[in-house]
Amino acid sequence: ISDNKIGIKLCIKKASDATVQPKKPNRKRARKPKSLNEDSSDEAGSPEKRNRRNEKPRKTNNNTEKRSAEEDYKPPEDQSVWANQLPEHVLHMIFKNIVQDEGSVPALIRLSRVCSTWYKVTQSPSLWRTVDLGTWTKDRFKTEPKLKWLIEHRLQHATEVGLGKDMMQNANVGELRATKRGLTLQFRFHSGRYVGNWKITNVQCVLDKLYEFVPNLVGITLTGWKALTADHLMFLVQNFKRLESVDLSSINAEVNANKTAVGQSSLCNAITEMGSRLTHLHLAHNRLSGIPQIVKALSTYCPNLVLLDLSNVSTIAISHGILHIEQLQQGCQKLKILRITNSHINLSTATLQEQMESPGFPALEELSVASLADESRLFNDEYLQRILKTSTQLKLLDVRGCSRLTHDSLIRLPTWDLKHLFLSGCSLTRDVSSGLELIASKWAHSLIEFDLAWANATKPLDDALKALADKGSESPLNHLNLCGSSVSLEAVKEVLANCPHINSINLASCRGLPRGVKRLLQGEQEIAELRENLGVTLKRPPVKSPRDD
C-alpha cells in the first residue's frame, strides 16, 4: 500500500529460472505420396491388408459415439401387400371411393407418399375430380404457369375445383347439401393481377386453357372475379356446351359498371343462351339492376332451374329490386333452393286471381329470407304464404330477423317434415301470447336444428321446449340454440333428460341459468358433463336403428 494509502503499488519481476515453453509441433502429418514405380494393386486389394485396416479402432469423440449408439441402423422392413402386391385397378377403385368422400386434395397427395405404386395410381387424371387448390396450395406456388400446368395435367376429368380460400364461403347456415354436379372452379380476384391469390395477368388466357383441356365443364364458380366482363361470361356459356351451374357471387359489390358480367343485359343474354341447361345460378353479394327483367328471363328460358341465390344483393333503386314471385313460380317448377337473405328485394304486388292461378314451388326444399333490421319490415305473413303455399317438401326455413311474421303463418304452412328452423329475432319469440308451443309440437318429430336465440318470452319458450321433450327418444333434435334467451333451468333439464340425440346446445348469455353452464356445449362429452352438473339423468336411451345391428 502506498504511503498516502490511496493506491497499491505492484512490482512484477521476471523469474530467473523461468523457461520459455517451446511451441508444440504441428501434429498434422502430410500424406506420403505413392511411388510411381510401386505396384500397390496387389497389396491394396489383398484380403489381409483390408482386414487389418478394418480392425483398427476408429477415433471418434464422445458425441459421435453417443449418437451412433442411439441411432442404430435398422434395415428397411418389407412393404405390406397393400403397397406392392395389390393390383393397380383395385387400388384405383379404393382411391376413387376416398376421393368421392374427401375430395382429391389432400387425399391423393397423402396417398402418393406411401410408395411408388400408390404414387403411380394417384396420378390418374380420372381421380382428380374434386380439387380444392385454394386451401392446400402454398402461396409461392400460386403462379400462372403452375395453374396452367395443373389444368393440362390434372384437371382433364375434374368435376369440382376450388382456387379460392373457401369453397363454401357463400353457403348459408344450415344449408342443405344437394348432390354436387360438374366442375366448380372458384377464384378470387383481389387486384388487377391476382385471382384468388393466384398471380394471373390475363383472365381470358385462363378461360382459353380451360376450354382447351376441360371441354366437358358442367359447373363453374367465379366468385370474386371483379375483372370478369360480359364478353368473358358470353364466352363461357357459348363454348362450354354442358355448362349447367354458374356462380357469379361478389363480382360487382360496390359499383355498377356497364361492362361487368352481372349487368342486366349481360345476365339476360347469358340466361337466354343457356336456356334449359341452367340449373344453378348464384348472384349473391352483388349490386344488381333490373331484377324484374332477370326473373322474366329465368321464368321464360330456364324451366330446369334448381337453385337461385340472391343473398346480400343491393339494388340501385327500389324499382330494380321487385321480385315477381308468381312469374317465377310459373316458369321454374323444379326450384328447390331459394335464398334472398339480407337483400334489398321486395315481392311485387299481385292480384288475388294471379295468386290463385300460381302453382307455387312444389319441389322447394330450402327457403332463406333472413334479414337485418332495415329489411325486416318488408317480409310479412302474406309473402311467406305466397312463396310456400304448395311447398310440402320444405326441409329448411330461415326467417331470422323478420319482425312482421306471426305464428299463424308458420302453423298454416303445408310442410310437415321440417328439419331446420331458424326463428331468432322474430317477433313471435318476444310475444308473450305467441304460439311457439304449437310450432314446436307440429315439427317435434322431424326437427334436427332449432334456433330460438334471444327469445325473451319465458313461458312460451319453456312450453316449446317441453313440447320437444315430450317426443322423448323419437325426437331427432341435434342442435338447439338458446343464446341470449330467458329460458328457465327446468326447461333445459327437460330437454337434456328426454332428447337423447342432442349434440350441441348454446346456453351463452342465458340470464336464468347458473354460472358455469352459460356457454356453447358441443359433443357427447360436454353434453354428458352438462347433464352431470345439472343432476339430469337421461330417461330414454336413443332408439337403435336397424343399421346399427
User: What was the pLDDT predicted at 79?
Assistant: 58
Give mean pLDDT, residues 333-362.
92
Can you give the length of the chain in residues?
549
Q: How many CB atoms lie within 10 A of CB 362?
A: 15
User: What was the pLDDT predicted at 28?
Assistant: 52
Task: Give which of 346, 301, 344 is closest to 323, Cα–Cα.
Answer: 346
The residue that leads in pLDDT, 531 or 140, is 531
Share the mean pLDDT of the chain. Answer: 79
Read out DSSP for 498-512? H-TT--EEE-TT-TT
Gap between the Cα atoms of 347 and 331, Å rounded: 17
User: What was the pLDDT predicted at 321?
Assistant: 87
Give mean pLDDT, residues 245-268.
80
Residues ≥6 apart with Cβ < 8 Å to 304: 276, 277, 278, 279, 334
Contact 521, 530 (CB under 8 A): yes
Q: Is the pLDDT confidence value at 191 over 50?
A: no
Contact 266, 298 (CB under 8 A): no
The sign of the dihedral angle between the CA atoms of 153, 156, 157, 163 is positive
SS3 186: strand
- Lowest pLDDT segment from 133-147, 171-185, 284-298: 171-185
User: What was the pLDDT predicted at 540?
Assistant: 66
- Lowest pLDDT segment from 216-220, 418-422, 479-483, 532-536: 216-220
Task: Give which of 490, 337, 487, 489 is closest to 424, Cα–Cα.
Answer: 487
Task: Give which of 83, 138, 145, 146 is closest to 106, Cα–Cα.
Answer: 138
User: What was the pLDDT predicted at 181?
Assistant: 31
Q: Is the pLDDT confidence value at 494 over 50?
A: yes
Cell match 391469390: residue? 197
The residue that leads in pLDDT, 422 or 254, is 422
Gap between the Cα atoms of 234 and 22, Å rounded: 92
Domains of the chain: residue spans and CATH: 86-127 (no CATH), 130-168+193-363 (3.80.10.10), 418-548 (3.80.10)
Q: Is the pLDDT confidence value at 467 over 80?
A: yes
Local confidence band at 410 (pLDDT 50, 70, 90 cut-offs)? very high
Beta bridge partners of 186: 162
User: What was the pLDDT predicted at 24?
Assistant: 55
User: What was the pLDDT predicted at 225?
Assistant: 77
Share of the chain above pLDDT 70, in %: 73
Task: Give which of 335, 310, 374, 364 is closest to 172, Cα–Cα.
Answer: 310
User: What was the pLDDT predicted at 372?
Assistant: 75
Q: Is the pLDDT confidence value at 318 over 80?
A: yes
Local confidence band at 504 (pLDDT 50, 70, 90 cut-offs)? very high
Task: Give which of 105, 171, 173 is closest to 134, Cα–Cα.
Answer: 105
Render pLDDT for 422-433 as a digit per residue (tens, 0 to 9).
Answer: 999 888 888 877
Gap between the Cα atoms of 124 and 500, Å rounded: 45
User: What was the pLDDT predicted at 40?
Assistant: 46
Q: Is the pLDDT confidence value at 168 over 70?
A: no
Whole-model pTM over 0.85: no
* Highest mean pLDDT pick, 245-249, 260-264, 494-498: 494-498
Render pLDDT for 54-86 as a digit per residue (tens, 0 to 9).
Answer: 555 555 454 544 444 444 445 545 555 666 678
Contact 197, 188 (CB under 8 A): yes
C-alpha distance from residue 137 to each of 101, 113, 406 (Å): 20, 17, 49
Give mean pLDDT, residues 267-280.
95
Render pLDDT for 363-399 as a digit per residue (tens, 0 to 9).
Answer: 999 999 998 755 555 788 999 999 999 999 999 999 9
> In the chain, how long is the greatest CA-to-CA distance?
130
User: What was the pLDDT predicted at 179?
Assistant: 32
The residue that leads in pLDDT, 485 or 344, is 485
C-alpha distance from residue 426 to each of 142, 343, 382 (Å): 45, 17, 16
Beta bridge partners of 194: 191, 199
Gap between the Cα atoms of 414 and 384, Å rounded: 12
- Lowest pLDDT segment from 83-87, 169-173, 406-410: 169-173
The C-alpha cell of 318 is what? 327500389
Local confidence band at 539 (pLDDT 50, 70, 90 cut-offs)? confident
The residue that leads in pLDDT, 43 or 344, is 344
Q: Is the pLDDT confidence value at 5 over 60?
A: yes
